[in-house]
Each structure stands twice: as structure tokens, then as C-alpha cells.
Amino acid sequence: MYEELNDRQLEAVKHTQGPLLILAGAGSGKTKVLTSRIAFLIENNVAPYKILAITFTNKAAGEMRERVDRAVGFGADAIWVATFHSTCVRILRRYADRIGYENHFTIYDSDDQKHLIKTICKKLNIDTKRFKEKTFMAEISGAKDKLINPTEYAREANGDYVKSTYAQVYREYQSALKKNNAMDFDDLIVQTVELLQKDETVCRQYQERFEYVMVDEYQDTNTAQFELIRLLAGKYENLCVVGDDDQSIYKFRGANIQNILNFEQYYPKAHVIRLEQNYRSTQNILNAANSVIRNNYGRKEKTLWTENPTGNKIVFKQFENGDEEAYFVSHDIAAKVKEGTFGYSDCAILYRTNAQSRLFEERFVAENIPYKIIGGVNFYARKEIKDLLSYLKTIDNARDDLAVMRIINVPKRGIGATTIAKVSGYADEQGIGFYDALLRVQEISSVSRAAAKIETFVQFVQVMRTKLLSGLSIRELIEEIIEQTGYVRELEAEGTDEALSRIENIDELINKIATYEEEVDEPTLGGFLEEVALIADIDNLEEESEYVVLMTLHSAKGLEFPNVYLAGLEDGLFPSYMSISSGDESEVEEERRLMYVGITRAMKQLTITSARMRMVRGEINFARVSRFVKEIDSTLLTGTINETRPIREQSPSRQAKSAFKQNSYLTKSSAPKREAKDFGKASLSEGQLEYVVGDRVRHMKFGEGLVQEIVRGGRDFEVTVLFDNYGVKKMFATFAKLKKI
């Protein structure tokens, strides 16, 4: 077993006494080191039950369990190999009564949490249209990650209305959990920490038992997890943590990178071993990763190297727009598969946001390339997309009963499942469609209470139909639906990362509509829905054993592929606009670590793509090549960066459109010319702004906020807004499209 290890790995295996920090670079064999280290301890007469190995996910724990069983053999079952949560459950099931719970406590999942918070909001008369249940869940979870209890949280709120509201719900929520003898997943760690802090007998018992503690993916730990580990390893301090600060990309989930960066401050006697030899990638790929990540200040120095071949240079391709980008990637994959260089399953497309998958999905369907979305669902199967398409279907002809039923109470209108069932029953009796039954709601005596709400819904649909017949474009129609229903406002009020991702998906649907109207001589709502149906009907495709993988960069951590495409490398997309405009360099450093993760997923070939202009919410925006591409040593790249603006009247380009028509199964008429908007040359006068300093405004992504300053900058205005959920943002008025409330 040990002969397979390199010198640094072997050193890590044999260093068993005292605190140890193993800085394991991407692809450096850290799991092999951990399992070998456990085997070495047992060979040196350490009792298996004295060893605790903790990781994050059940999948990772299962894989480590299998490796440990194979490496150790007899006695392996006595070793605790578990996730943080399962470790805590084992402790609490025995000793929860020491901190005021019964040992057979209930564990609440997210649905239970949401229901409980909804009940609390009703009790406290809190408007759940302004304060979403998921927002409270995220805020409470964040507080628990940092070991902040309800009393401390209320103190930190310091009279702030929003924070005070969160504090009130947090206090009631924890009180209700205790009353119900229940814990949520965050409590499993928090309450275990409290148990170990308050009960010296229990703490000493576990400190004595776990003479050796090992933690995988240490860069992803939060404050509560750090404290748990510190307490468990408190007697012997034979604590071995394995991680890579350069792959710390989960700050939004509460990960605290300072845990790994400051390990030597917490444990001054710590020994540090760097695993820098990579077994996955070519040297050119590693050189690219090294040249990017060295621009981060908040990191521990290490340089990846390999005995693998130098390999091909990184391919950089810059396109006019996202359509050309998707066209190139699909054809490049098809060509490589045809020539036998790679199979479909060797290829992965990685991107910053879920919404980016749409163009690739459509190209793959057109080219009959099998693919699978990892860590998400196909674009047209996402809830928010299906909801808005159901609105369009209902307005188009309302003959799709499923579509009408889907959105009759989305967003909530007080039309419940019982009412829908009664209307459906009436429709069946009369032999008519569900929507036709809604038109006759006054004839259905059993739904008299909800009749007025149903009539309001029907009136909305009829008004939208009238506007469409009066010349409203499809894009204007979808924006009207979003505005009138408050669909995006609800997501903004939720304020979570998931909600922001959904808003981005809605923006991408608007892009699709704008592209359709651009490319078709006589666009119609029915025609658009027909095109989407042809593209979206992929659920019936047989599952392929060979398929291209599409996923976000966050989902790709821990995976590897022979042929990787990093797509959408533009400032404002990756790194994101929010990280660039935050003024906080640590936000950009987090994005740079994400780039490092993306690069190091590639084994043999890496292709990076960028678009000079990209459609955002139906408008053409110009973009510069990502700063991360420019940080790669130019000698490692093929292709050049062109920062001059394209002088084209037609978008997407003639070449891309021509190729699309020749290869797509969708027949389109020739596209009308459209001039791309150059926002840098926009000309606004103060009278054209509908808001002034001190006004409340709404932004499609950032939600509601207060205008703090308006400054003329060239031929546009720079507007500073303090947003309720996202803090201070500066933006140009033409880009921002702020609406006065």
C-alpha cells in the first residue's frame, strides 16, 4: 500500500502525533492519504474505536468507508467514519437529555422548518409576501453556522427593523423546536457543541475516546464545525485536517476559509505538509491553474506539478455572442467524438450560472448530442420556466388543462387544491375544459367562496389576451405577466441564492423570446410555444450511457473529465457583476478560486470560451474578456483576446445564423437586421429618469432599495442604490432599468 505513495504523502501518513495540516492540491490523492493513514495507525497498535474520520457528504463518507474497510480489514467497523451530522446524531441520541432535550428527539427537514416558520409568521402578524419563509430559514441557518444564538442575534440587530424581525422569528423558532423536542440539521452541530461545552463529563469521555481525529475538506468547515472539532480533539490534539484553501468556494453556504488559513495560529505546534504533485492533469493545465490562483492574497503558497505529459495548450476562443459559443462547443464535441479523440462521457461544459445551460441544451438537441444536467434540471423543466410558459399557454388558448391548473394559484391567490378539484369535477361533468369551467364559476355552487378570486384570475388572462391582440410583443407580454403577478418580486423578497438563480433563469427565458422575435419574420405566441415544445421535449429521450455533462462550477468540485469547456468567461458573468461591484476583494478572490477549480477539472484538454456581446434580459450587452483569462500565462494559450467592440449590425452573426439554419431541425425564415445597442454611448437627460435621490426603486435582480446618489458620467448617469438585501450597488441608469416604487 505505502509503496504507491510519494514522499510527501508518506510523510503525511506517518506523522501521527500532534496537529497536522495537509494542504492537498487538486488531484493530489488526499483520500488515499487519509485511508493509508488510518491503516498505518492500526498497524501501530492504535485501537480502531479510537479513530474518528469526518467528512461532509454521505457519498464522501460512504466512499471513505469502503476504502477504509478494504485497507484495514478486520476491526474497520469500529472506526467512526461519518459526516458531521451523523457524528453529532450518535452523540446526541445518547446525551441530549443533558441539555434539556429527550434523547429520542425529532429531526426537522426543510419542509418541517418552512411550515414551522410559516406558523410563527402568522402568529406574529408578519407579512410573508415581504418576508419569505426561505429568507428566515437562510438567516437562521447563517446565525447557527456562526454559533450566534437568538439573544446574541437580537443584540446585534441593534434596532434595525429587518434584523429585528429576523431576531423575533429566530427566538420563536428555537422556542418552538425545544417545545416540540425537535432539532433542525444546523442544531445537530450547534447542540452537540453546547453539550460538549456545558457537560465536562461527556466532553472528557469523547476526548478520551477519539485519540485521533481526521477531517476531510477542511476548507469547507464553518465556525460551528470548527468548534466541534476543536472540542473533540481537545485532549490529545492529534488532529489531522486535509483541505485546499484554493478550493474554498462555498462561502455562500457558510464556509469560513479562515479555519484553514489560520490553522497554525489555533495550533502553533502544527506540522504542515503540502501535497503538490497532481495525478490528474497535464502540466500545461496545471500551469494555467497556478498562474491564475497566485493572484489571490488570502492563500497558502503551493504550486501544482505533475509527472504527466506537458499536453496541449489551453484553447481560448472568443465569439461574437453566446449563440456562436454554443455552436462551436457542440460541433467541437461532435468532431472529437467522430474522430475518436474523446467519447461523449469524456466531455463536460462548466459555467458560472444555471441559466447558461439553455443555449447549449438547444444546440445539443438540434445536433442530437446526448447530454445530462448535473446538480440541476433541464432549462425548460425548471419550475420558474414551466410556470411562466404555463401562463403563455393559458393566454394563447387555455386548452391545456395542466397549464391552467399549474398557474391558477401561482403566485398564491387563495385558490386551494380543494377548489381546483371541485372545478375540475364540474368540467368533467359538463364535458368542457378546465378553463371553460372557470368562466362558468358562478354556476358551481360548491366554490362560491373562491368565486371572486377565480374571476380575478380569469379577468387577468382575458386582459393579457386583449393586449396581445392589440399588438403587444411576446417579450412585452412576458414582462407584463411578471410585473402583474409579482412573480419576480416574490423571488426578490426571498433573497436567497436559489431565488437569485431563478431570476437569472427567467432573464434567460426573456433572452429566448427576444431571439425568437428577432429571427422570425412574423413571430406569434403560438409559434414561440411550438418552437419551445420541440426543443424542450427531451424527457422522452432514452437514457444514454454516453452523454456530455453540463453543470455549474460549484457542482463540478471533486470531479474530473478528460475534455473540459469553461464557458462564459466575461467580466460581469465570471467573475460575477455582484462580486466585481461589491468593493470587497475577498469576493473576487472567491470567484478566482472557482476558476481554479474549473481549470483543474480538466485532465487532457481545456477549452475556454468568451462572448464579446451577450444577451441579458432581452438586450445586447457588450462584455470584456474575464480578468481570469488574462491572468493565464499567454504562452499557455492558443487564440487571442480582442477587446475592440464588434462593428456588426446583425446579431447573432450571419455565420452563426447560417450554420444554425443548415444544421438545425427547426426551420426559420431569414432574420431581420437589428442593431446591437451600445450602452456606452447612451444619452440620457435628467428629465428622463423617473426617480430622484431619496426615492424607493426596484431592480430586477437586487430587489427594492433607496436611491442615495445620482451622478452624471459622460452621457449616462451613475446611480448609487442601497438595496434592502444586497447592500450598496453603483450602476449606470441605462443598464439598471430601475423602476420607481
- Catalytic center residues: 30-31, 216-217, 247, 601
d(CA 699, CA 507): 13
Q: Is 29 annotated as a binding residue?
A: yes
Count of CB atoms situated within 10 Å of the CB of 181? 14
d(CA 245, CA 297): 11
Q: Is 176 annotated as a binding residue?
A: no
d(CA 38, CA 1): 12
Please give the single-letter amino acid code of residue 482: I
d(CA 483, CA 469): 19
Q: Is 27 annotated as a binding residue?
A: yes
Question: Is 621 in a helix, a strand, or coil?
Answer: strand
d(CA 353, CA 513): 19
d(CA 410, CA 402): 13
d(CA 204, CA 165): 39
Q: Is 694 annotated as a binding residue?
A: no
Name the residue with cell 476543536.
Answer: 230
Task: Kindly list the distances between the CA atom of residue 66 and the CA atoms of 52, 81, 82, 620, in Å, as whole numbers in the listed order.
Answer: 15, 10, 12, 51
Give the cell for residue 255.
Answer: 464556509
Question: Is 604 in a helix, a strand, or coil?
Answer: strand
Q: Is 677 annotated as a binding residue?
A: no
Candidates 120, 263, 117, 101; CA nearest to 187 is 101
10: Cβ–Cβ under 8 A, 6 or more apart, which residues?
2
Q: Is 25 annotated as a binding residue?
A: yes
Give the cell for residue 320.
Answer: 461574437
Q: Is 343 annotated as a binding residue?
A: no
Please give the single-letter amino acid code of residue 643: E
Task: Kindly list the distances between the CA atom of residue 628 and the CA atoms of 299, 324, 566, 609, in Å, as whole numbers in the listed order.
Answer: 17, 21, 12, 12
d(CA 69, CA 582): 47
d(CA 154, CA 656): 57
Phi/psi region, residue 272 (left: phi>0; alpha: psi -120 to 50; beta: rest), is beta
CB 133 within 8 A of CB 121: yes
Instruction: Give 226's DSSP letter.
Output: H
Q: Is 24 annotated as a binding residue?
A: yes
Strand partners, 55: 83
Tell me the binding residues for ATP: 24-31
Annotated binding site: 24-31
